[in-house]
Chains A and B, each alone.
Chain A
Amino acid sequence: MTRRERTVDVLIVGGGPAGLGAGAELAASGAGRVEILEREQTAGGIPRHCHHGGFGGRTIGGAGTTGPAYARGCVAAALRAGATLRTGVTVTGWAGPLTVDTTAPTGLERITARAVVLATGARERSRSARLVPGSRPPGVYTTGELQQAVHLYRQRIGSRAVVIGDEPISHAAADTLRVAGLEVVAMVTDRAPARLAVLTRGGDRAPVLGRTTVTALTGRERLTGVSVRHHDGRTATLRCDTVVFTGDWIPEHELARRAGVALDPGTRGPAHDAAHRTSGAGVFAVGNLLHGVESAGFALAEGRAVAAPVLRHLATGEWPTGRPSVAVDPPLRWIAPNLVGPDGELPLDGRFTLRTTRRLASPLLVVRQDGRELHRQRLLLPVVPDRPFRLRAGWLDRVDPYGGPVRISVC
């Protein structure tokens, strides 16, 4: 028994909003055989287990829908458009520049495509990846695991929980904990507590411990507490049997790296231009693999937007090389896209997406290449960590395609 060899026109790896959006648009625009591979048994990606509302605001307007409904909508749209969606199929590696090996209950395959779109998403860093010291007892979660445990498997979680983080996903995690019957005793963040939190959250919410770091987890058979240190030196141990580490996303970039495509040092996702082209010829990337993380709606829109450049590549076979990179200076954290394409394509909505490492009140952003100023723009609202902000991309046509890297700094 060996691998079944097959060919498709476009292979999309990952059946979350980005991959499904790409599949739908490509199938609808006559890209030929468009196949989406999803390693989970059900497609839809992370929205599958986000039971809170607010999904689809971008595309539908209004308050949106719940995650599972949104995921089902994405799946239905891809299927309606004629894309092939295969679940329970894992891409295990590359057998050539545009050839992957897969494992599924139906057997092993080797699939060669004319273009590959990577849409493998992002995950939250685990407690270990964050280098949080202490013991390794049961009761330690990320939001992703918690939501699946509660919403997909109805598992017993515990009784008292601490949530690490104070961003929207942290509050979603706290809501999930309450649904599961836990008391949320505190939310811990090493940053200053989010402003306006009092206005946006109800009065019955857990206290937010700002400027506080987790120094250790305690307990052996079961988590017994989270030791913390406030920036003024005070320490405490928060008694709990459950802790959820939220946010701190890292792109799920194994397959991209195994393909040998270059990573952006800021996002840790594949370096890419506005047409979602990576450094690997014929390999595109979309969604939260590129930036951890934007909303599901943003990922879906990126997936749709990749269709035109994929079709162009299928028609011409062209692939740019030697593109100037776009990089940020501290305290900015990353920018996406982070390569300048040769054809002056603009990013989604004509704007770049950025993150900062610390809060900046109405910062003045300056774009330079080789010392030459291309653009300056004052943002009217403050920017805060873990929230996206945008930079207009109208200056892209002034970039020297043979010049050095483009740098974005705060003036």
Chain B
Amino acid sequence: MPETYESRAMNPTITTSGALTADEPPGAPAYDVTVVGAGVVGTAIARELARYRLRTALLDASDDIGNGTSKANTAILHTGFDAVPGSLEARLVREGQRELRAYAAETGIPVERVGALLVAWDEEQLAALPALSAKAERNEYHAARLLDADELRAREPRLGPGALGALEIPDESIICPWTTPLAYATQAVRAGVHLHLNCRVRHIDSGDDVHTLTTTRGTLHTRHLINAAGLYADEIDRELGHDDFTVTPRRGQLIVFDKLARDLVNHILLPVPTAAGKGVLVAPTVFGNVLLGPTAEDLDDKTATGSTADAIALLREKGRRILPELLDEEVTAVYAGLRAATGQEDYRIRSRPDRRTITVGGIRSTGLTASMAIATHVTELLGESGLALGTPSELPPVTLPNLGEAFPRPYQDAGLIAADPAYGTLVCHCERVSAGEIRDALAGPVPPHSPDGLRRRTRAGNGRCQGFYCGAAVRALFEEARS
């Protein structure tokens, strides 16, 4: 009987523990393609592959999708105005942002086109703006515009003293970094991709036809392998016998300010990159907070996602100059993410058709923006590497619960509450998350396996009290659903 999306969608395969299903017959490849790494890039690739009649697996070492670099970034949907013209990154960011904008509108991922201002604070920075504008043109971005000091002040009245002018990029947007990979993963598993979590790849044996992956959850065979392991892409590559690059984690620490700070800023306020280095940005989030950061610290430790006192002090000092009143507001969270820097100002996407591997490395801050275009690009490379993809099918549609402040949320929806009072029962008061949304997330197609995962799907516990009021109640709902 021919397999259809309908029949496959009945039984989405997500495993989190136990040995991986044995191959039938033993040693035969269970999968045509295996994607290692379920971040925003890996999930996007898995989603794209799900259009084809392939047996695809998506692996991640952690207990959730989007749980590494993808969860801790600046959540900006870039235009690519400042990319290196002619680079692969420039093209994929440009294409990816168009695709993701459309996809977000279709699936309910919140996006706000707030625009960005590159604010010049000294003559050197002011003098650099025309060149940045010209660079934007070379990146096929034509809407950039120079603002003088008065225009800038009118746009951002709370800016600190001394701003001399700005370059406006009207299409820079903010996006939800959590529901984006969740949407990809949801569509992928609904279309039959197998998602294996808590599944760290320890060792790879590459034979003539088959890669044998030894994981923390047993052995898996696959014909083709796509390395989207982010910070660990160099290690997976070395297992495959390649040694193209080394990932140097570049830590970015960020401070999230209270929602009461949101009215202080209208745009993403970007630093002007100069010889003196990159500054920090101030940006609204789709959740209604304000971000300050990131730092850029080159480290050795790929697990060093902690914040430091020095960085917090540095960010506060810089933030005070940009938006002085911001520093009077309460801090909701401080976090750090690691970008997968490889010492090259471009992505490192490389297909080795003879080895049946594709490395998707060096995807840095722009990975969220470019994810869909990266997926298309990688799928093309896969098609050129001897795998018959066949004809693509439509993916099953998916709708994500809205987490954005700019769009209606369940607590504001009288009709929804009348139909189901659980949407009027607020559990997380700071973020106004209802019992209904928490229930839905726990029963969702790609459910959370920790309270933190639940937070990324609903915002529960993400607010100013950080659990003072709701932490125990949210945990109780999580544990109840698991038992």
Q: Which residues does A use to contact B, with CB under 8 Å? A: 1-3, 39-40, 88, 90, 92, 103-108, 123-129, 131, 133-136, 138, 141-142, 144-145, 148-149, 152-153, 155, 215-218, 220, 250, 254, 257
Q: How far is the CA of A50 from the CA of B382 in the complex (A)?
A: 61
A129→B415 CA distance, assembly (Å): 37
Query: Is B330 part of the contact surface with A, judged by Cβ < 8 Å?
Result: yes
B432/A129 in contact, CB under 8 A: no
* Pick from B305, B306, B312, B414: contact of A131, CB under 8 Å: B312
B418 touches A1 (CB 8 A): yes
Question: Do the beta carbons of B418 and A107 come within 8 Å of each other?
Answer: yes
B471 in complex: contacting residue of A90, A141, A215, CB < 8 Å: A141
Docked-complex contact B309 and A145, CB < 8 angstroms: no
Contact (Cβ within 8 A) A127 B466 = yes
Q: Is the CB of B429 within 8 A of A142?
A: no
Considering only CB atoms, which chain B residue lies closest to A152 in the complex? Answer: B472
- Which residue in B330, B333, B468 is a CB contact (below 8 Å) of A124? B468
Give A170 Cβ to nearest chain B Cβ, in Å.
15
Complex Cα gap A40–B429 (Å): 9
CB distance from A43 to the nearest CB of B (A): 14
Which residues of the partner chain A approach B412 to less than 8 Å between Cβ atoms? 92, 103, 108
Complex Cα gap A125–B334 (Å): 13
- Beyond A134-B307, A257-B260, 7 additional contacts (C-beta under 8 Å) are A90-B426, A90-B432, A103-B412, A103-B417, A103-B426, A128-B466, A148-B472
Could you tell me the distance in whole angstroms from the C-beta of B93 to the nearest C-beta in chain A? 29
Question: How near does chain A come to B69, taking the closest CB pair, in angstroms?
Answer: 15
Do B417 and A105 touch (CB < 8 A)? yes
Is the beta-carbon distance between A144 and B469 smaller than 8 angstroms?
Answer: yes
Query: Is B451 in contact with chain A by the CB < 8 A criterion?
Result: yes
Which residues in A have their C-beta under 8 angstroms from that of B305? Answer: 135-136, 220
| Chain B proximity of A131: nearest CB distance (Å) | 5
* Cα–Cα distance between A104 and B464 once the two chains are bound (Å): 21
Contacts of B308 in A (CB 8 A): 133, 216
Given contacts A90-B432, A138-B451, A155-B472, whether A105 and B424 have CB atoms under 8 Å apart is yes
Asked whether, in the complex, the Cβ of A107 is within 8 Å of the Cβ of B424, the reply is: yes
Which of A131, A149, A152 sits near B331, CB closer than 8 Å? A131
**Pair B472/A129 contact, Cβ less than 8 Å:** no
Q: Which residue of A107, A126, A134, A138 is within 8 Å of B465 (Cβ)?
A: A126
In contact, B432 and A2 (Cβ under 8 angstroms): no
Contact with A along B389-422 (1 / 0, CB 8 A): 0000000000000000000000110110110011
* Distance A134 CA – B335 CA, assembled complex (angstroms): 9
Q: Contact between B331 and A148 (Cβ–Cβ < 8 Å)?
A: no
User: B411, B425, B451: which contacts A92 (Cβ < 8 A)?
Assistant: B411
A149 touching B411 by the CB < 8 A rule?
no
CB distance from A267 to the nearest CB of B (A): 14
A187 CB to closest chain B CB (Å) equals 20
Give every chain A residue within 8 A of B411 (Cβ-Cβ): 90, 92, 103
The digit string for B466-483, where 1 denotes a CB below 8 A from any CB of A, is 111101110110010000
- The verdict on B303 contacting chain A, using a C-beta distance below 8 Å, is yes
Could you say which of A149, A217, A257 has the most chain B C-beta atoms within 10 Å of its C-beta? A149
CB pair B468 A92 closer than 8 Å: no
Q: Are A129 and B417 interface neighbours, CB within 8 A?
A: no
Write out the residue numbers on chain B whose beta carbons fall within 8 Å of the beta carbon of A135: 305-306
A141 to B451, CA, bound (A): 14
CA distance A257 to B325 in the complex (A): 15
Tell me the bound Cα distance from A106 to B476 in angstroms.
23
Q: Are A128 and B422 in contact (CB under 8 A)?
A: no
In the bound assembly, the distance between CA atoms of A138 and B452 in angstroms comes to 9
Which residues of B lie under 8 Å from residue A218 when comparing CB positions?
306
* Cβ–Cβ contact A148 & B417, under 8 A: no
Known contacts A103-B424, A138-B451; is-contact A126 B466 (Cβ 8 Å): yes
Tell me if B332 counts as interface (CB < 8 A to partner A): yes
Chain A residues lying within 8 Å of B479, measured Cβ to Cβ, are 155
Interface pair B421/A105, CB less than 8 Å apart: yes
Closest to A101 in B: B412
**Contact in complex: B334, A128 (CB < 8 Å):** yes
For residue A136, which residues in chain B have a CB less than 8 angstroms away from its CB? 305-306, 335
A289–B157 Cα distance when bound, in Å, is 30
Top 4 A-B residue pairs of the complex, sorted by shortest distance between their CB atoms = A126-B466, A105-B421, A1-B414, A148-B472
What count of chain B residues pass the 8 Å CB interface test?
A: 45
Give the distance to chain B from A243, nearest Cβ to Cβ, in Å.
13
Contacts of B468 in A (CB 8 A): 123-124, 126, 142, 144-145
Closest to B305 in A: A135
Contacts of B333 in A (CB 8 A): 128
A133 proximity list for chain B (CB < 8 A): 306-309, 311-312, 334
Could you say which residues of chain A place their CB within 8 Å of the CB of B334?
Answer: 128, 131, 133
Query: Closest residue to A39 on the B side, CB-wise?
Result: B429
If A1-B415, A133-B306 touch, does A250 touch B330 (CB 8 Å cutoff)? yes
Does the CB pair B432–A92 fall under 8 Å? yes
In chain B, positions 297-347 with a C-beta closer than 8 Å to chain A are 303, 305-309, 311-312, 330-335
Query: Does B425 contact A145, Cβ atoms closer than 8 Å?
Result: no
Most chain B CB within a 10 A radius of its CB, from A88, A103, A107 = A103
Whether B471 contacts A220 by the Cβ 8 Å rule is no
Residues of A within 8 A of B418 (CB): 1, 107
A-side contacts of B422, CB under 8 Å: 105
A134 to B475, CA, bound (A): 23
Interface string of B251-293 (1 = CB under 8 A from A): 0000010011000000000000000000000000000000000
CA distance A409 to B426 in the complex (A): 44
CB–CB B429/A3 < 8 A: no
Give the residues from 439 to 483 in chain B that come closer than 8 angstroms, CB to CB, to chain A: 450-452, 464-469, 471-473, 475-476, 479
Contact yes or no, A107 B417, CB < 8 A? yes
Min distance, Cβ B290 to any Cβ of chain A, angstroms: 14
Q: Out of B256, B330, B464, B467, name the residue touching A145 (CB < 8 Å).
A: B467
Smallest beta-carbon distance B474→chain A, Å = 10
Whether B432 and A103, one on each chain, are in contact in the complex, defined by CB atoms closer than 8 angstroms, is yes
B456 CB to closest chain A CB (Å) equals: 13
Asked if A155 contacts B424 (CB within 8 A), the reply is: no
- B451 CB to nearest A CB, Å: 7
Q: A123 CA to B256 CA in the complex, in Å?
A: 18
CA distance A3 to B330 in the complex (A): 32
What is the CA–CA distance of A251 and B331 in the complex, to the nearest angstrom?
14
- How far apart are B167's CB and chain A's nearest CB, in angstroms? 32
B332 contacts A2, C-beta separation under 8 Å: no
**B467 contacts A134, CB within 8 Å?**
no
**Distance, CA A34 to CA B414, complexed state (A):** 25
A108 touching B472, Cβ below 8 Å: no
Are the C-beta atoms of A142 and B303 separated by less than 8 Å?
no
Are A39 and B472 in contact, with the CB atoms below 8 A?
Answer: no
Hey, which chain A residues are within 8 Å of B451, CB to CB?
138
CB distance from A345 to the nearest CB of B (A): 30
12 CB < 8 A contacts A-B: A40-B469, A103-B426, A104-B424, A104-B425, A105-B422, A108-B417, A128-B331, A131-B334, A145-B469, A153-B472, A216-B306, A254-B260
B466→A90 contact, CB < 8 A = no
User: Contacts of A107 on B, CB cut-off 8 Å?
Assistant: 414, 417-418, 424
What is the minimal beta-carbon distance from B255 to any residue of chain A, in angstroms? 8
With most chain A CB atoms within 10 A of its CB, the pick from B418, B432, B465 is B465
**Which A-chain residue is minimally distant from B429 (CB atoms)?**
A39
Q: How far is the CB of A290 from chain B (nearest CB, A)?
A: 17
Task: Please report the C-alpha to C-alpha distance between residue A138 and residue B453 in the assembled complex, in whole angstroms.
Answer: 12
- Cα of A244 to Cα of B429 in the assembled complex, Å: 21
Cα A144 to Cα B469 with chains together (Å): 7
Q: How far, in Å, is B308 (CB) from chain A's closest CB?
A: 5
A129 touching B471, Cβ below 8 Å: no
With the chains together, A150 CA to B467 CA distance in Å? 14
A123 touches B469 (CB 8 A): yes
CB-CB under 8 A from B473, the residues of chain A are: 148, 153
Nearest CB to that of B465 among chain A residues?
A: A123
Chain B residues near A105 (CB, 8 Å)? 417, 421-422, 424-425
Cα–Cα, bound, A147→B239 (Å): 49
CA distance A124 to B464 in the complex (A): 10
Once the chains bind, are A128 and B417 in contact (CB under 8 Å)?
no
